[in-house]
Amino acid sequence: MTDHRLNRMIPARRLVWALVAAGVLGAAGGAGAMHASNTLKTSNSAPVTAPAEPAATTSPVLASAAPAAVNAAAPAPMAAAALPDFATIAARQGPAVVNISVTGTVKTQAQRRGAMPELDPDDPFYEFFRRFQPQIPRGGEMPTRGQGSGFIVSEDGTILTNAHVVRDASEVTVKLTDRREFKAKVLGSDPKTDVAVLKIEAKGLPTVTLGSTRDLRVGEWVLAIGSPFGFENSVSAGVVSAKGRALPQESFVPFLQTDVAINPGNSGGPLFNARGEVVGINSQIYSQSGGYQGLSFAIPVEVAQRVRQQIEKGGKVQHARLGITIQDVNQGFADSFKLARPEGALVANIEEGSAGAKAGLKSGDVILKFNGQPIVASSDLPALVGQAMPGETATLEVWRHGKLETLKARLGDDGEKKSRTARSDDESAPQQGKLGLALRPLEPQERRDSGVKEGLVIDEVSGPSAQAGVRPGDVLLAVNGTPVSSVEQVRSVVAGAEKSVALLVQRGKDRIFVPVKLG
């Protein structure tokens, strides 16, 4: 799902979504373990005791002098919290942070196609790729090198890092702070959460202390240790900027956003809270230049632990699947479905035979909670579902026809299938006047071609519907969640609407909701 929030934060002509992986890459060029960066082409997610408050010292509050009222209580002075003891955290936890060096091979033809995607001279990566690309042969395979970070979670050599750090690796070397080096075996990796588990043959190793993100608060101090650009055991600090952040094409992880300085080579390294406990794995940055610009993202430690447990148990990772296509709920949809707030995941389509279909979900339902967890943005749902196990029974709180309903869904297995998010190409704009649709029944051949049993073909579009993005050739399936098969049904539903209506249309093979504001 397209995330417009992130795009507005950097109003640049071109944005770069950089995977923070390696400090040095061979002739392939790029600052990543095996894949330096991806150009972001879009304009679309869980988080044990609360941290003890550090000792506070009082500081004077500057204020204009004024006569004190008789018997008036003097205001309490504001307390200035002391900074965490970063030096102690680094000294105690640093020895368990490792540097990871990776060698591998890539097919040069694929690398050439993917590494230089028609960059213009003003692109921040143009000069970088121009320098390296001429050295790449066109055929066969080419050796590559990369670097990243990781941290030891067991005394016998289990290490957590990012999946993209060891992707396509033929040999992985782990270097400890005492300068010892070990060849590492990749026990398993999960590209969907970007977590990998390594193993080295050693005993009595230092380990990190694992914490929890449940009570981690926005604004709390956090500390990162890693190997940016190959500078081993570098320490940087900042605060938690947000929790449960959804990122483009990363639907299985509710990221921690921080302003900790993270650069190529930090990937896979730990993020510590103020008590020296690991709360995340530093994974990605959002940048125009490929370097740190104040937006860093870490995988919550709970997600990493679930992946680790599955890999150590069976060598592979499973994610649950609901089998539905969802959309975000904007104000127009909230008005159409009479929701108090524009929150939840709007169900646009349900795959036949899927867990969602068996649970009784219908197009037009708005999922407000999953196993008691609120769904604010639609991107919250895939992360919650993806962290559940196939076969589990989930409780869904659904808004349907103006009232709440509770459904039970036995979750399926995501396997290799990726959850799809419905997209509409145009944003709704202020509307006025009638709906502006010319409708007709489906012809028999159109029913067979589209696979639609009931609905109306949209022949012409004008007025509010045209401005909302409805197109000629779309098939109108429902209005405000009510299936329609005649023009009279459409008129009846629209007549009872107040501010807007939600049109469910089929466009090609996709079903999407389009909010249409009425005058």
Sign of the Cα pseudo-torsion (472, 477, 478, 481, in order): negative
267 belongs to the catalytic site: yes
Q: Which residues pair with 421 in a beta bridge?
A: 326
- Look at residue 422 and give its three-state secondary structure: coil
- Look at residue 100 and give its three-state secondary structure: strand
Q: What is the DSSP code (8-state) at residue 7?
A: H
Strand duo 195-199 + 181-190: pairing: antiparallel
State the residue for tokens 């967890």. Answer: 373
CA distance 326 to 423: 9
E strand or H helix that includes residue 223: strand 221-226
- Which of the residues 3, 45, 164, 380 is marked catalytic? 164
- Which of the residues 123, 190, 194, 380 is marked catalytic? 194
CA distance 507 to 512: 8
Other C-beta atoms within 10 Å of 295: how many?
A: 19
Q: What end-to-end distance do the CA atoms of the chain give, in Å?
A: 29
Query: 347 with 324: CB under 8 angstroms?
Result: yes
Nearest to 287 by CA among 2, 4, 28, 19: 19
164 belongs to the catalytic site: yes
4 belongs to the catalytic site: no
Q: How far is CA 328 from CA 1, 245, 401, 508, in A?
A: 8, 15, 18, 20
DSSP string, 113-169: HHH-SS--TTSTTHHHHHHHGGGS-SSSEEEEEEEEEEEE-STT-EEEE-GGGSTTE
State the residue for tokens 């097919």. Answer: 107
Nearest to 281 by CA among 470, 20, 101: 20
Beta strands in 401-433 (DSSP E): 403-410, 412-413
Query: 475 with 519: CB under 8 angstroms?
Result: no
- Look at residue 102 and give its three-state secondary structure: strand
- Which of the residues 241, 267, 336, 379 is marked catalytic? 267
Instruction: Tell me the H-state helices in 345-453.
Output: 355-359, 380-386, 444-450
| Catalytic center residues | 164, 194, 267
